[in-house]
Amino acid sequence: MKRLFILSATLFLLLSLSYCGTARRGVPMFAPLSTENPAVAQGEVVYMEYCQKCHPGGTAGLAPAINNKPLPGFLMRFQIRNGVGIMPAFKENVISDGELDDLVAYLKALKKAKREEG
């Protein structure tokens, strides 16, 4: 019962946050990222393959922006693995655990770049 409550509360939080979009659609939110870190560079490759279509450059497109979410890494992983709303789930056979770690590193770099720019 307690697990069900925690899962429900987490899903509610994720859904609430996933619909917070940005009014700056199509406007770059930050300067280009430095991809000297290999994890960030590989995360960008994974992002471009699976995420860019709906979240161009981390901003809102077909889906809400993802570079303005105050989610810790474990909730980013949960959202990517399980999907939320119309976002599909990306299971291990699509994005490996290593690629998921790199993707989260890239998303954190996007958020950091946004904070530094804004």
Q: For the chain, what is the total number of helices (H) and then of strands (E)?
A: 4, 0
Q: Domain residues for 84?
A: 2-117
List the one residue out of 75, 80, 73 whose CA is nearest residue 96.
80
- Please state whether the predicted TM-score (pTM) of the whole model is above 0.75: no
Rounded distance, CA 100 to CA 94, Å? Answer: 10
8: amino acid identity, one letter: S
Residue 65 has what pLDDT? Answer: 80
Tell me how many domains the chain contains. Answer: 1
58-109: per-residue pLDDT in tens?
878 888 887 777 889 899 999 999 998 888 999 999 999 999 999 999 988 8
Amino acid letter, residue 80: I
- The CATH number given to whatever domain includes residue 104 is 1.10.760.10
Closest CA to 98 of 46, 23, 55: 46
